[in-house]
Structure 1
Amino acid sequence: MTIRLRLTLLFTILIASILAVFACAIYFAYAFNREEEYYKRLKQQAITKAKLLFEVKISPGVLQQIQAYSSNGLHREEVAIFDTANHLLYHDAVERDKVKETPEMMRKILSRKEIHFLQGDQQAIGILYTQGGKPYIITAAALDTIGLAKQQALLYILIVSFLFAVALTARAGVFFSRKALQPVSDMVDQAAEISARHLDLRLQAGSGKDELAELAATFNKMLDRLEQSFDAQKQFVSNISHELRTPLSAIITELELALSQYRTEADYKHAIGLALADAKRLARLSNGLLDMAKASYDESEIIFRTLRIDELLLDARQFVLKSNPDYHIDLHFAGNTEEPETPECSGNEYLLRVAFINLLENACKFSEDHRCMVSILQTGNALEISFSDKGIGIPPQDIPKLSQTFFRGQNGHYAQGSGIGLSLTYKIIGLHKGSIDIKSTPGAGTSFTVYIPNS
């Protein structure tokens, strides 16, 4: 069932229910009012007959003749007058006797002074009437033919009007549901045209402030993010292709040259050494790309636990020194030495170790003495981890671009690299709700300060 049909049905059922309640209320209110009015008419007719009999002194026979020739004969009222001993004093038509008075009924009239009841399809009334200080019991009954006919006509009118209103409501529901969902249909048509080749297309949000406009705006924001992701992916793939092509081409060229003719053992060793260096570079690049992929995961999918930063830095230091024996890394723990606080944070052990290794290698690699000074300071709710060197420094215009993948600054010729390390470090620290501050003076050195919330 489509939303349009569902809305039409719900709208029609709702309006039909409201109309049915109003129709029933009108019908029953009219029926109740008609009944009460006719009881009043019966009472008035009964009192009039009693006054004619007792005050005007019209004989019972004459009253019966008047009743017989009444123009209201089709639904004429039948009146009977009794004394308190239940002796009949007057009756419009004894042979018909619609009320069928009983002693129990008489006692009820005497006690209550007025009663209303139904005698078959006839309305009936019994009252206690006083004339000249003497009480009398009067009963009257009749069928409200005209009133019931009007009530029946009202019922037909209400039924026909109800059915017509429901049909009109259903027709209006179809029209309004179509108008209300027209923006949704337009959005569906527009969304169908959006594909990987046309990610620049957007939904028309219009100038409205309703939920549909908000949905279109939210969808457009999602498309903006997707387009940025696709563009970044294309750029990333392009950069990867370029970075992988260089060492692979070098390896192939070196091996082809080595095989092109007979060479000495020293030449073969030299060619193998060059190929091995390029292979190691390719391995580092592949590892960096894998780490970049891990750092790009959703934060909810990365396992975080409480880590000791000092132990993590010692592990990273050991890893760097094992791969580069000529590097020198000094660790300094600042703060209160008498009651030192344990530097802890909530994070992923593997990713933080990769970030620290990148910062340590970067500092040592761009320093002539290959030395890096690391200090840990706990301030308030954050850990400050500073990686300092006295190397060649970073030009000021290159600092804002260090978070870009595959970016190589002006000093890239000083040491080999893939341009992944620092961008990967930025991603990892960002995942840990931290930040990186860079201070550098060309020719004097650079300081990377990492701020991570402690636990």
Structure 2
Amino acid sequence: MKIKNRLSLYFTAISTLVLITVEVIICIIFNSSTKSNFYSQLMDRATVAAQVYLEADEISADSLSHVRERYFKRLPGEVVRFYDDKNAASFIKDKDQYWNDAIINQVRKTGELEFTQAKRQTVGIYYNDNQGNFVILVSAIDEQGNNRSKDLIKSMAALLACAMVSLFLMSRWFAEKSLEPIDKLIHEMDKVSAGNLSMRVDEGNGKDEISALATNFNKLLGNLENAFELQQSFVINASHELRTPITSIIGEIEISLNKLRSAEEYQQVLRSILADAERLNTTTTSLLELAQVDMNFTQLSVYPVAVDDLIWEIHDYWVSKIGKGMLHVNILHLPDDAERLQVTANKPLLAVALNNIIANAFKFSANKKVNCDLYVDDTIIKITVTDAGIGIPSEEQKKVFESFYRGTNGKYFHGTGIGLYVTRKIIGLFNGTIEINSSIGIGTSIIISFNREL
């Protein structure tokens, strides 16, 4: 059963139970009020009967006529009995002992009594008169009240049936409206497949559970996309980067085995094979490092990282590695609020990204001085690393972020071409951006930016 139908049924059942409870209470109150009113009416009848039969000699003719008019409007199934001190019926022609001695004595003892037998209601009063002390019992059936109770029950049942239908329809509509974002989310999820893991579902306003679900789903897609990229990247890079040195090694061995060669020629072949083997070893190591970095992305823990502290730690590292003054840190602007210096990231990975950029700056500038500028305000954190190196051709500035890509003017420098690829992935993982400004023969500036909302 769909959630919307289940919610509708649950809501209808709960509402119906509440309505039934309310209706039962109303019926109980109504019946109690009706009974109480009828008891009052019977009590009046008992008083009128006493006036007619016992006080007739003490009231005026007009008053007696008025009392008789009230009294002679009989109630359905009305029974009136007077009982003297001996519990014998008096005044009424019918001398049957309608009530037993126990009830008569109970009235005499309590002064007044009300009770119900089947559909019949009865009241009794103890009346003192100059003719003697009498117990007066009056009983009747409240047909009008019973009919009103039945009509009320029928009306309540009809109202309950209409209310149940209305509640189900309204709850069904409400459930559809409430679950509409989930239906939309499901529809968007259906479009996701292994071939388009880059697709993301709409996260809405980010303030409710559905937005949280969409956000977590997008994070899951990001992890899956990274895992698929890892697999594809590793296979493609391995097949491309490993095939060349292996093919070269095989070819050189086959050529050297075609005929006997001099010791010098064999040494030359071995040196060539050693160079290819070293290249193969470097490539394999780079591939494994790349795979390790990619796998770390799926097991990442993030927390606030103070960017200024991290940059000074990196500065100290390069001072110990290259020397004092080679990496110059410029603090261009800092905000008053220290929290504005923090970016949500993984500190070791962020250090890897910055060190990759700085390492490239030193490498491609032949260890000339490198500047690292930090600018932070209420809306942005910007880190700029500038070198005076060989520069990057404009048509290649986007390609340098591809795995194992090496610029045409950088092929004579030692490297594997994965540093900037890893850097871009790390910066993107922490919702940052990276861009390059470079001129051939002048130098390169790499700008990392983290924007935040006010």
2:419 is aligned to 421
Give the secondary-structure state (helix, strand or coil) at the position aligned to 2:441: coil
Give the secondary-structure state (helix, strand or coil) at the position aligned to 2:121: strand
1:298 aligned partner, one-letter code? F
2:291 is aligned to 293
**What displacement does 1:372 show?**
3.9
**What displacement does 1:218 show?**
6.6
**What displacement does 1:74 show?**
6.1
2:277 is aligned to 279
Return the TM-score normalized by structure 2.
0.63
**What displacement does 1:363 show?**
4.0
**What displacement does 1:252 show?**
2.4
CA distance in 2, matches of 1:347, 1:219: 19
2:77 is aligned to 75
**What displacement does 1:87 show?**
10
2:96 is aligned to 95
CA distance in 2, matches of 1:219, 1:278: 46
CA distance in 2, matches of 1:430, 1:4: 39
Percent identity for Structure 1 against Structure 2: 25
Structure 1 pair 165/188, CA: closer, same or farther in 2 (3 Å)? Answer: same
1:257-302 CA deviation, whole Å, 9 max, x = no partner? 2223222222222222222222222322232233333333237546
Give the secondary-structure state (helix, strand or coil) at the position aligned to 2:264: helix
1:40 is aligned to 40
CA distance in 2, matches of 1:183, 1:429: 32
**What displacement does 1:17 show?**
0.5
1:39 aligned partner, one-letter code? Y
Q: State the superposition RMSD in angstroms.
A: 5.9
1:153-175 CA deviation, whole Å, 9 max, x = no partner? 45874797589669968996998
Structure 1 pair 232/277, CA: closer, same or farther in 2 (3 Å)? Answer: same
Q: Which runs of 5+ in 2 are unaligned?
A: 331-342
Q: Is the 8 A contact 2:404 2:417 kept in 1?
A: yes
**What displacement does 1:24 show?**
0.8
**What displacement does 1:420 show?**
1.0
Of 129, 147, 150, which residue of structure 2 is paired with 1:150? 147
Structure 1 pair 383/254, CA: closer, same or farther in 2 (3 Å)? Answer: farther
Structure 1 pair 294/255, CA: closer, same or farther in 2 (3 Å)? Answer: same
CA distance in 2, matches of 1:193, 1:384: 37
1:36-435 equivalences in 2 (<5 Å)? 36-53=36-53, 54=56, 55=59, 75-80=77-82, 91-92=91-92, 95-98=96-99, 105-106=107-108, 108-109=110-111, 115=112, 117-118=114-115, 120-121=117-118, 122-126=120-124, 139-144=136-141, 146-147=143-144, 149-150=146-147, 153-154=150-151, 157=154, 161=158, 195-196=193-194, 234=232, 237-296=235-294, 297-298=296-297, 301=300, 308-309=313-314, 312-313=317-318, 317=321, 329-332=322-325, 352=351, 356=355, 359-360=358-359, 362-367=360-365, 370-373=366-369, 390-415=388-413, 417-428=415-426
**What displacement does 1:10 show?**
1.6
**What displacement does 1:31 show?**
1.1
1:7 is aligned to 7
Structure 1 pair 227/374, CA: closer, same or farther in 2 (3 Å)? Answer: same
CA distance in 2, matches of 1:440, 1:128: 117
Q: Is the 8 A contact 1:30 1:151 kept in 2?
A: no
Structure 1 pair 309/408, CA: closer, same or farther in 2 (3 Å)? Answer: closer
1:162-212 CA deviation, whole Å, 9 max, x = no partner? 896699689969987997889978987986686435769999x9x9xxx99
Q: Is the 8 A contact 2:374 2:384 kept in 1?
A: no
CA distance in 2, matches of 1:237, 1:372: 37
CA distance in 2, matches of 1:429, 1:406: 18
**What displacement does 1:39 show?**
1.8
**What displacement does 1:376 show?**
7.6
**What displacement does 1:387 show?**
6.7
CA distance in 2, matches of 1:387, 1:214: 37
Structure 1 pair 137/286, CA: closer, same or farther in 2 (3 Å)? Answer: farther
**What displacement does 1:350 show?**
8.5
**What displacement does 1:403 show?**
3.1
Q: Which runs of 5+ in 1 are unaligned?
A: 110-114, 318-328, 337-344
Structure 1 pair 274/411, CA: closer, same or farther in 2 (3 Å)? Answer: same
2:334 is aligned to none
Structure 1 pair 237/137, CA: closer, same or farther in 2 (3 Å)? Answer: farther
Structure 1 pair 386/51, CA: closer, same or farther in 2 (3 Å)? Answer: closer
Structure 1 pair 262/388, CA: closer, same or farther in 2 (3 Å)? Answer: farther
Q: Is the 8 A contact 1:363 1:388 kept in 2?
A: yes
Return the TM-score normalized by structure 1.
0.63
CA distance in 1, matches of 2:140, 2:231: 91
Q: Is the 8 A contact 2:127 2:133 kept in 1?
A: yes
Q: Is the 8 A contact 1:183 1:212 kept in 2?
A: no
CA distance in 1, matches of 2:394, 2:186: 49
Q: Is the 8 A contact 2:107 2:113 kept in 1?
A: no
Give the secondary-structure state (helix, strand or coil) at the position aligned to 1:142: strand
How many residue pairs get matched?
Answer: 410
Q: Is the 8 A contact 2:392 2:438 kept in 1?
A: yes
Structure 1 pair 27/183, CA: closer, same or farther in 2 (3 Å)? Answer: same
